[in-house]
Each structure stands twice: as C-alpha cells, then as structure tokens.
Structure 1
C-alpha cells in the first residue's frame, strides 16, 4: 500500500513537472525580446516579429536620426517608420495564458504544511497566518475566526497592528482598514463598511477608471496611427514632388545644353563667315602688296640709273599712293563686318523664354484669390473703400441700407466671394488696426447677438489680436500664439477638399502659425472684425 501511494505521488509530481515545463515553453514564446517580460499591448512589424508597443516604439525613436529602421529581432530594414499594427490575437493569447496560471505560480506561494515537496497553495488563513494546499484546506478549521483569502505572503498586513485582530472593516472617513475593536474605539461614529464590500466598490471604481483609460489609450493609438498615416502620406507626397522636381531640372539642363549648342553654333557660324571674308581681303591685299613691291624695285632701278635719256623715256607711274585707292581698301576692311551680337542675344533670349514658359506651365504658381468686401454685410460703423478692399472703423454711422445680411452688433464685414472648392489664399494688412480678427466663416453665421461675432461660434475660424495677445479662435476656444512675431501682414490659405485652413505671418521668412483641420459643410467667406483703425486686403 505504501508503495502504491509513493508511486501515485511520483506520478503526480511528474505530471506537475511536465505541466510546468509546457507552461515555461509557452511563456518563453510569449516574452518580448526587448523587455524579456510577457507582452503588453503586443504589436507586429512587417517582418512578422512581435514586441510590446512601448518597447518597440522606444527602439524606433532611437533610430529616427539614422535614416533607416531595423527590427531588433531579425535586423530587417525599412526606410520609413514602420506602422505598428496591434496583434489582437497575440494579446488574447497572453490574456488566456495569464488566466490559466494559478496566482501562486506568479507569486511563488506554496503550502505551509507540505514540507517534503512544494505544493501550490490554494488559500491563505489570516488567523493562522499560513497558506494551505487543497488537501490541508479540507481539514482546516471552518470557524468564523479563521478567515480565508487568496494566497498571499502579506498575512501580517491583514491584521490590526494595535489589536492583532483581522481587518474586517473599512473606515471611509479616514480611508483606513480597521478591526472590530478599532470600529468601537477611535473610529466610533465614523462611516464604516465591511472590508469585502468596500473592496468591491473600490474595484468597481478602478474598473471604471481602467475602462476610461483604455478608451483614452485606444483613442491615442488611433491618433498615433492617423499621424503615422499622415507622415507616410507626406513622405510619399515629398517623394513624388522630389521625383517631379528632379525630372524638371533634368529637362531644364537638357534644354539649356541644347540652347547652348545652338547659340555656340551660331557664334561659330558667324565667326567662320567673318574669318572667310577677312581671309579673302588679306589674299587680295597680299597680291596688291606683291605688285607694289615689284613697282618699288623697278623705280629703285630707275633711280639708280645714270642715263637721263633712259629715265626720262620711262612712262610716268603716277601717284602710286592714291587717296581713293587707299580709301577703297579701308572700306573693304571695315566692310568685312563683325559678330552679330544682336542675333546671338535674340536666339539666347528666345530659347530662354521657351524654357521659362515651360517651367511656368509645369510649376503651378497659385495667384491670390481676389477678395472684395460686401457692403451689404458691413456693420453701420464700418466704412468700405471704393475699391472694396479696405474696411475702416468709423465713429460716424455710415447709414448703410438695412439688409438681412448686415451685422447688427459687432464691427464686422464679409467678402462677396464665397469659396466652396479648390485651393485659395488671400492676404491682409492689419498694421493700422489696434484690435482685429481675420479669418473665414460660413454664410449661415447669425447676424445679431453674442454668437454673431466671428470666432465665437462653430461657423467661423479666425486669427485675433486683442489686448496685445494673439490667438486662433473657433467655437469660443482659443489657441494662444507667441507675441514675439511680427503680425502686421497675414496670409490665410484654404484647401477646401482637404479641410485645411492655414494662417501665416508674412515676415521674412514667411512664418507658418497654425493649420486648422475641419470638414467644411458650407461655402466660406473671408471675414474681418475691425476694432479701431482699418484692415486692407492686399492680395
């Protein structure tokens, strides 16, 4: 009989060992290779390896400056920041693994009374301050003073340090766990709850907090994914523009080289023509020079003769240095001509004009949208200039005709033009106004009451200067901007389909201030608010 029991115990321990080995192998597969702990929010790279989201994100951050991203596991390279896709299946596997593991395996709590071999504890007795396995738990005292709990090593913490009694209650006023003697003593009259009930309430609150944090984390993950997608789109867009610009400059270089060859060819042709003319003239003058040399020798012979009859009978040679003959030769020299610089410059100018015209066609140069102010919307103390470009505050009522579109309370005016598609920009000079707001709004904005001021509703987006502070305002919410920038001239850019409205300060260099993203549901008008001075639309 003793042999049979020993055999059963050995089989039991062997099965526990096999189970532990299998569990250890599985756990090894569920460990992040960076932190060497169980996966927390596992994500997958393109190469298929998994990591904790926080771990791999930190690794990728350190690789940003190198221009290439590598997997810590297999060193697979990627030129762009890898998209971190959450591995929901692996996350569920980790959760199921943790749920199947008894708490004592994680905490290392074993039965106090199993001294020959470690047996996992099923419960801990707070009264005995001991942990028990299932076998010892069956024979354990069931009396009320023996309080059982999940396996724990902090048995002493579950007893009152003063009365050495089990902590059974929770004082909500002092936020303290107390025993029965404490409740009748220093905590008398306080609101007291049973410890387990207070524990469940606290866990319920924590679960609510956890749920909110989980929701916020998911929202943050979505924002990160959107930003990563935006970064990929920007990188792809930049790559496309780089490719186009490279092709443009390659084509410009090719056209310039062809133009250079044509102009140099024209220069060579003219040089050859002039050179040929000069060569012909030189040849004629060489012949003339030889003839003159021959005549000179004959005259020298005559001068050396002593017989007067012979010399006098020689025919008269005339004036060999005739002025007309000299002038004729001078005309021939000047008539050879020179390089036609005008023709060369004309060819160069024509060729460059063709290249520049092609560049202008290729490069989209956006012109400012022509904005005119709508007098029918202007407040009665707003004067509109004759060219409809300037809005000025006036202490004298302008006696505008009553119209439904007119602003009744605030010094505002809208543009006549409404934009419902495409890309546009317009510029304003606000240097002559003390308080101002410039931006865009829907035509459905109300025209009277506090909600009619631009920026104070969900139908308008404006940049504002008030009390020497600058901000972007939408639906009464402000984004404050630094005061140390020049804001005398502003540019407002609209990309209607993309849902973007951007504000720029036209300093040197141009400074981007902020881009608002929204889904536009109505056409947009330019909107001005003038508080003293004037605002002028310049572009």
Structure 2
C-alpha cells in the first residue's frame, strides 16, 4: 500500500486532491496555487492571513514559491500508475454503478467478485476461484482456452487437460498443479534453509569483521599513543644529551682557554723582548764606530741564543726562554691544548649515546591481522600429512596415496593455494621443534623434483631455515647462497612479511619484543606462494583474515 501512502502525502489539504501547480508558504506547508489564492481572498477582509495547516499568521500575504521538486514528484506519480495499486485495488466486475472492492476472481467466468456477487455465484467445479487478479487470461491455456490444471514435468510447463490428451504434451508425465507446486515448494524450502544458514553465517561474519575492526581501531589508537610517547621520550633524551654535550663543550672551552691565555701572555712578553733586541742589533749593524760595536758585544746581552747556553751568566737569562718554551710547549704542548682529541672523544660519546637510545627503542609496530594461508594438497609431497583445515603440515614415514602429478613436490614440501601478485601481507608459522625445516616463498614455476627444488636452493625461492640439526640457529638462503644469522632461537614462531611492490620479503622471530631477522630485496617477476618444508616435525601456518595495512 505504498502508493496509497504516497498519494496521501501528495494531496492538497484544501481540495483533498493531488496537487495542481503546488506552491509553498514560508511555514513549509504546500497547497495548490488556486486553492491557497482562494483562501487568501476569503481571509483578506480581516487583514491577517492564516496557513490552513498550522494556522501560522502573516501580516502581509507572502510571495508564493512554486515547489519544483514537489511538481516533479506529482508529475511522476500521475504518469506512472503504481503496480501495488493495480494489484490491491481490483473492482468487482458486476458492480457497474459504483466501484466495489473484489474479494475473489473466477477463472471460468474471467470475472472478479465482491462479497455480494460471490454469495450468488455458481458453485460448479468448473468455476475455479482465486485471489483477485486482473490477468485472468494468463490462468487459461492460450490454445484451448481452458483452465491450466496440470504441470508437464518433461517440458516444465503448466497445461490444460486438452494439452495432455490431444495437444503437444500428449503422453508426457504430468502432475496436478497443487502436487507440482508442493514439490517445488519443498525444493524452495531446502534452498530457503540453505540461504537462511548462509545468511546467518554472513551475519556472524559481519559481526566478526566489525569486532575485528573495533579491535583494530583500539589497537591503532594504542599504537598511536605508544608512538607519541616513544618519540616524546626520544626527543627528551636527545635534548638531555644535547644539553650535557654543550655543557661539556663549555667546560672544555674554559679548561683549554685559561692555560693558553697564560702561554699567549708570556709569548707576547718574549716577542716584545725579541723586538727590542732586533732593533738594537740593527742599530749596531748600521753604526760606523767600531768601538761602540765591540763594547756592546762584550756586555753579553747580544750573544747568539744558540751559542749562549754554555755561558753561566747568560744561561740564567736564556733559561727564561727555556722556561717560556716550556709553557708554550713547542708544537707538542700546543697540540695538547687545541682540543682535537677531546672533540673526537665527544663525537664518539654522542654516537655511543645515540646508539644506546636507539637500542632501547622498539621501532616495530604491528597493527595488522594475519593473512588467510591454506596449504595446497595438490602440491604436497606424499610424505607430508596435511590437516583438514589445510594449515598444518606434518612429516610422516608412511607415504600418502596421492596421485603423482607435475604439481606435486618430491621432497617434504608444500605450497599455499593462495598466490600474491600485489600489496603488503603477512602470516605466522609455528615450528614444533622440527629436526629440519624451511619456510619462505616461491614462484609457481619452481622445479618440483630435483635437489634444486628445495625452497632457497634456486633463483625462484627465498627461505629461512633452521631446526635441531642446526642447534636451533637461523640462516636464510636464496639461490643456494646461505647467510648465517648467528642468532639463537628463543621461540617456535616465525613471521613472514611480503611487500610485493617494494620487492621485500622479511622474516621476524615471534619473541617479545618481536625481532627482525633478515630482509630479501629484489624485483619480483611472478606471483608468489607461501611454501614450507619440514622433516621429522610439524609446521603450522596461522592466519585468519586478509590485511591491507603495511608490513612492519
């Protein structure tokens, strides 16, 4: 009855008909233009105008604004009769003087009947009554003009009695419409039950995803707070380090400046004395009186400093020079005061402090959910048991009876069914203290047979490996090039992170805090599959949902 409600909304409250050229007053109510103008003429004598709906008053007649949107709605409503209205409002065929609602339709008479006409209608078996309908001709055979009573199961068609006896459906398996309908309903009920179950699972999935989204939002908020606190601490520690170093430099400056100032003062005195001697000797060299020259030289004040060290009288004077030289220290002592060594010490101290600060910082933040990773049994070696949930691979001595195909690995390996061609993803693997294992990724074109088929032993795969045979130490390998990590395993968990566009495949140990082990960097040229290899042990790939966020 939606159209009835819409029609009610589109009726003018004055004429009780659908709007004609609707206009809107300032109070928001709409009316036909002619209707509201007639109301204005009626109220005009009082000098106050009222809205017929809310009785809002207007001292002056407001300008009438044509409601374009309402005009469009009315136009569409009038030009397109409602399907609901046609179905629900069917008139009695025999009530010709006034329209009366029909309650049943007769397929034989092809007429609709109200309660009164239904009470006097024929009760003969050929008069089949149905719910009111305007398409009664569709309930009859188009060939024989008889009521459709049967269902041809071979042609999946509704037929009349003549169609089954003499028509094109002669000899076919037929059923009564009610019987065929019940069978269809039974199938539909089964489908309905499956759909309801699927809908319920979908609703549960929606709730689960919403819960994960809520937790992810909480996690990101926590991580944002942690990052903020971390960098506040970093800035404080670096500021404190800067203040300490500047204070040390100031103290060092004073320590260096005072003794050097003393040396400079004594050197200035020595320099002035040497200036006097030089001037006096220049005067003697320019004098023409030999007596004066010889008498000045005999005083011993002008002897050569290099030659005067042996004379006791002059030695005391030169000793002052030696003492002075002791203060300036020649090149060696002055180098002791220029601060070169101390500067190197300070730089080294700053470097060590910054290194200590960075060691204390956990710069890895995880706010992602792990990827769905399922193992592909088609690729599993026959000495690997794959769990029902396709997440655990266990080595076994008993060979499995799987067909030998080109896709199947020959040596204790299995690939994921999912492949990655873009984006950032991660998942975790749990190694149950296996004797020997490898985890990583490979191209689908990897060899599945020879010794070179092990992940990491070729150019088409990358892996981290370890196990009891390696004293629980990690190594990474690609194209048979082994890089020992020299790190003792402290947990049974490994995280693998892939950034396809950046060409990075990273491995982390799932300890507290999580520890980065190694990152391969290359340009990936094919899709990538997760791959695991295990001997005498089990490996579990854990993953629940897709992630779109960057890997750490």
TM-score (norm 2): 0.50
1:210 CA drift (Å): 1.8
2:208 aligned counterpart, secondary structure: helix
Q: Which residue of 2 aligns with 1:335?
A: 333
Higher relative contact order (CA 8 A, sep 6+): 2
CA gap 1:265/1:413 in 2 versus in 1, 3 angstroms: farther
The CA deviation string for residues 173-232 of structure 1, in whole angstroms up to 9 with x for no partner, is: 222111121221133332222222322332232232222212212212222322232233
The CA deviation string for residues 328-368 of structure 1, in whole angstroms up to 9 with x for no partner, is: 637345312222234213422431242133126x8699xxx
In the alignment, structure 1 residue 158 sits paired with structure 2 residue 139? yes
Contact 2:104 2:132 in 1 (8 A): yes
1:489 aligned counterpart, secondary structure: strand
Aligned equivalents of 1:440, 1:217: Cα separation in 2: 30
The CA deviation string for residues 506-538 of structure 1, in whole angstroms up to 9 with x for no partner, is: 99411896899xxxxxxx7349xxxxxxxxxxx
Contact 1:173 1:191 in 2 (8 A): yes
Aligned equivalents of 1:23, 1:104: Cα separation in 2: 7
CA gap 1:104/1:250 in 2 versus in 1, 3 angstroms: same
1:313 CA drift (Å): 4.0
Q: Which residue of 2 aligns with 1:65?
A: none
Identify the range of structure 1 (507-516 vs 328-337) with the bigger mean alpha-carbon deviation.
507-516
Aligned equivalents of 1:320, 1:280: Cα separation in 2: 27
The CA deviation string for residues 127-163 of structure 1, in whole angstroms up to 9 with x for no partner, is: 1212222222222222222211011222101111111
Aligned equivalents of 1:252, 1:334: Cα separation in 2: 41
In the alignment, structure 1 residue 509 sits paired with structure 2 residue 489? no
Aligned equivalents of 2:529, 2:214: Cα separation in 1: 21
In the alignment, structure 1 residue 259 sits paired with structure 2 residue 241? yes
In the alignment, structure 1 residue 236 sits paired with structure 2 residue 218? yes
Candidates 439, 462, 466, aligned match of 1:489: 462
The CA deviation string for residues 305-336 of structure 1, in whole angstroms up to 9 with x for no partner, is: 66655554442323354488678637345312
Aligned equivalents of 1:193, 1:413: Cα separation in 2: 53
**1:211-226 superposed matches below 5 A:** 211-226=193-208
Aligned equivalents of 1:276, 1:511: Cα separation in 2: 57
Aligned equivalents of 1:104, 1:411: Cα separation in 2: 70
Aligned equivalents of 2:89, 2:530: Cα separation in 1: 56
The CA deviation string for residues 30-70 of structure 1, in whole angstroms up to 9 with x for no partner, is: xxxxxxxxxxxxxxxxxxxxxxxxxxxxxxxxxxxxxxxxx
Q: Which residue of 2 aligns with 1:450?
A: 400
Contact 1:109 1:152 in 2 (8 A): yes
CA gap 1:413/1:282 in 2 versus in 1, 3 angstroms: farther
In the alignment, structure 1 residue 139 sits paired with structure 2 residue 123? no
Q: Which residue of 2 aligns with 1:47?
A: none
1:131 aligned counterpart, secondary structure: strand
Aligned equivalents of 1:502, 1:183: Cα separation in 2: 70
Q: Provide the alpha-carbon RMSD of the alignment.
A: 4.8
1:170 CA drift (Å): 1.4
Q: Which runs of 5+ in 2 are unaligned?
A: 10-83, 310-317, 367-380, 421-442, 447-458, 467-492, 508-527, 532-536, 541-552
The CA deviation string for residues 263-289 of structure 1, in whole angstroms up to 9 with x for no partner, is: 344344334433333332222111112
Q: Which residue of 2 aligns with 1:130?
A: 111
Q: Which runs of 5+ in 1 are unaligned?
A: 1-19, 29-102, 366-408, 415-437, 456-463, 494-499, 517-523, 528-539
Q: Which residue of 2 aligns with 1:36?
A: none
Paired positions, count: 339
In the alignment, structure 1 residue 466 sits paired with structure 2 residue 409? yes
In the alignment, structure 1 residue 110 sits paired with structure 2 residue 91? yes
In the alignment, structure 1 residue 181 sits paired with structure 2 residue 183? no
Candidates 347, 353, 356, aligned match of 1:354: 356
Identify the range of structure 1 (346-355 vs 327-336) with the bigger mean alpha-carbon deviation.
327-336
In the alignment, structure 1 residue 119 sits paired with structure 2 residue 103? no
CA gap 1:289/1:472 in 2 versus in 1, 3 angstroms: closer
Aligned equivalents of 2:130, 2:304: Cα separation in 1: 142
**1:312-331 superposed matches below 5 A:** 312-314=294-296, 315-319=299-303, 321-322=305-306, 329=325, 331=329
Aligned equivalents of 1:410, 1:467: Cα separation in 2: 8
2:463 aligned counterpart, secondary structure: strand
Aligned equivalents of 1:221, 1:205: Cα separation in 2: 24
1:177 aligned counterpart, secondary structure: strand
1:108 CA drift (Å): 3.4
CA gap 1:118/1:131 in 2 versus in 1, 3 angstroms: same
CA gap 1:21/1:511 in 2 versus in 1, 3 angstroms: closer
Contact 1:491 1:506 in 2 (8 A): no
1:236 aligned counterpart, secondary structure: helix
2:100 aligned counterpart, secondary structure: coil
Aligned equivalents of 1:219, 1:104: Cα separation in 2: 37
**1:376-395 superposed matches below 5 A:** none
In the alignment, structure 1 residue 201 sits paired with structure 2 residue 201? no
Aligned equivalents of 1:169, 1:504: Cα separation in 2: 64
Aligned equivalents of 2:134, 2:410: Cα separation in 1: 63
